[in-house]
Amino acid sequence: MTVEHIRTPIVCVLGHVDHGKTSLLDHIRGSRVVADEAGAITQHIGATMIPIDSIQKRSGDLRRMKTNIPGLLFIDTPGHHAFTTLRARGGALADIAILVVDFNEGFKQQTIETLQILRNCKTPFVIAATKIDRIPGWKPMINASFLRSYKNQSERVQTECENRVYELIGKLSEMRFNSERFDRVSDFQHNLVIVPVSSVTGEGIGDLLMVMIGLAQRFLTENLKTTVEGPGIGTVLEVKEERGLGTTLDVILYDGIINIGDEIAIVGTEGVIITKVRVLLQPRPMKEILIEDQFQRVKSVTAAAGVKITASHLEDVIAGSPIRVIRGDRDETVTKIKEEMQEINVKISDVGITIRADTIGALEALSKELEEKNIPIMRAEVGAVSRHDLIEINVMKDELYKTMLCFNVPLLPDADTMIRDEEVDVKIFSNRIIYKLIEDYINWRNEMIRAQEAKQFETIVLPAKFSILPDCVFRQSGPAVVGVRVLGGILRPHVDVATREGKVVGEIKQIKLNKENIQEAKEGVEVAVSIDGVTIGRQIEIGEILYVAVPERHVKILETEMRSHLNIGAQEALEEYTNIFRKNQPFWGK
């Protein structure tokens, strides 16, 4: 007979960068994970089990609530993209979510994106409005409930607090969410709950936990029912080398059970790996699996839970991949694993940059951020950078794509040697913070584009029109030296001069301003120019409007690739000059 029980709800913590996701969890579990993360921003997915008795100690009201929820398994994510990654490979891996919003800064772009994703995924969630202690004049009450602390504030601070709550309610209303402060909600099924909290003072944290347990108890109980005997299914968070244990896996088990001796299927760099569980270790309650140093040996683990697994042949396992206990048909399990891996959400283009990350989740998160910024990806893989990778990138023709973005992965020794010895012309960007990695690449790319455009401007004949000023003929010929006014565009030396009929009559040799040679004269400037091959009064007249003779092959480049870089005067000069020829040849220069 199968034994049915209620598993621990899995809670994802989401929100904009720096709005306090990890700090919130740090306060709940009494740890300092955030201090160990690059840039104090979570870059990996961690799991923390908060048992019900710990939650009850934090929330007095919860002690009066009848509940069969065993606690909460919190997952701290690098962002909403990691959240969608976890869902894609495990069904509804997150049962409920906490969206962290800075009470003082309000909604940011990432907050709005996260709300849209939560709606699309149909995941119930609560808003934790953090940093209430930063409201000017706020008098903190350590670990107090929000209402108790709120009543202790001055009327001015209470008013400010109310205004900020209503700003959130208004913004949520614009996105078609009905919402209210948690103590004013009567219909939890149709209203989004806002819980003001402080991760510094602990105010409101007990209220947040009580709301989470209450929602799970009321609306998720059916979804949380599972059978103890079902084969375990989970996701690998991280692959680690542990002293005395060898290579280990940090895993979130979200369904079924896993026992010592179970055969498991998991994905490696060369395909699906089949191995047997040697040891199962669980972090102590309230401890984050990624930094726990005193694990408990157990014989079996039932979902939902974070667990460390030791087995043979784990060295090449890909972090972020699915893991399944094999019961019955091994081929069927392997097929399911392969199907899940094919769902990896990375959009590949025919041309683009190459990206590398240490986990599948990070790879997907990085690729999604790049996609939103219209940066194409040609290759996306998990693991260290090899010599072969650099050789493949080096053959790219476009300099902007001869680059690799590396998130938290090393260069293998042979690849590192190639870069140091400049054997390949490949630009490597490496960072442990995703948004910084992308920012560094974009800054470099933009500088490269500016340099390319500057180089192109140097070789392309730019349009300009000018007129010969009266009483400014200093020499009639050999070469003619005259004063001119630039009417549009940029006038440079060593360009041919054309009349309004399109006839080339001479070449500008020099341009002088205040007796000094200059390399360009912009619109509105009066300068002296020397024009070889003409005689004033014969080929050209005083007051006549003249044009720079732009070669036909240059016209096409100017109109298709560089038009946006030309000012209005240059565009008008180009249009007037091309119209001279297009009267009789409509496709001239096209």
CATH topology of domain 464-582: Elongation Factor Tu (Ef-tu); domain 3 (2.40.30)
Say which range, 357-361, 441-445, 462-466, 469-473, has the weakest mean pLDDT: 357-361
Under CATH, which number does the domain 233-342 receive?
Answer: 2.40.30.10
Nearest-angstrom CA–CA distance, 365 and 84: 9
**pLDDT tens across 493-504, in order?**
999 999 999 999
Which of the two residues, 433 and 161, has the higher pLDDT score?
A: 161
The 10 Å CB-count burial string (b at 16+, else e) for 484-518 is bbbbbbbbbbebbbbbeebeebbbbbbbbeeeeee
Lowest mean pLDDT among 37-41, 103-107, 138-142, 159-163: 37-41
The mean pLDDT of the chain is 83
- When pLDDT is cut at 50, 70 and 90, the band that residue 244 belongs to is confident
Q: Is the pLDDT of residue 526 over 80?
A: yes
* Residue of 15, 25, 128 lying closest to 81 (CA atoms): 15
How much is the pLDDT for 13? 83
Mean pLDDT over 522-538 rounds to 92
pLDDT of 230 > 90? The answer is no
DSSP secondary structure letters along 61-78? GGGGS-----EEEEEE-S
Q: Are 398 and 351 in contact (CB under 8 A)?
A: yes
Q: What is the pLDDT of residue 27?
A: 80
The string of pLDDT tens digits covering residues 67-125 is 788 888 887 665 444 444 454 343 346 788 899 999 888 887 777 777 877 776 678 89
Q: Inform me whether the pLDDT recorded for 271 exceeds 90.
A: no
Cis peptide before 365 (omega within 30 of 0): no
Weakest mean pLDDT among 37-46, 373-382, 443-452? 37-46
Q: What does the pLDDT read at residue 88?
A: 37
Q: Which has more pLDDT, 296 or 536?
A: 536
pLDDT 10s digits, 30-65: 644 344 444 433 334 467 778 887 777 766 554 566
Q: Averaged over 306-319, what is the pLDDT?
A: 88
Centre a 10 Å sphere on the Cβ of residue 538 and count the other Cβ atoms it contains: 11
Q: Which range scores top for mean pLDDT: 50-54, 120-124, 337-341, 511-515? A: 511-515
What is the band of 483 on the pLDDT scale with cuts at 50, 70, 90? very high
CA dihedral 369→373→376→379, nearest 10 degrees, is -20
Beta bridge partners of 306: 252
**Segment among 94-108, 191-205, 257-271 with least mean pLDDT:** 94-108
Domain pair 353-458 / 464-582, same fold: no
Assigned architecture for domain 353-458: 3-Layer(aba) Sandwich (3.40)
Give the pLDDT score at 512: 93
Q: Of all residues in the chain, what percent carry a pLDDT higher than 90?
A: 37
Which residues does residue 225 pair with via DSSP β-bridges, in sequence order? 6
Q: At 10, give phi and psi (nearest 5°).
A: -95, 125
pLDDT at residue 80 in the model: 43
Architecture of domain 4-226: 3-Layer(aba) Sandwich (3.40)
Where along the chain do its domains lie?
4-226, 233-342, 353-458, 464-582
pLDDT at 508 over 90: yes
Which is more confidently placed, 330 or 121? 330
3-state SS, residue 269: coil
CA pair distance 548, 466, nearest whole angstrom = 8
| Pairing, β 10-15 against β 71-76 | parallel
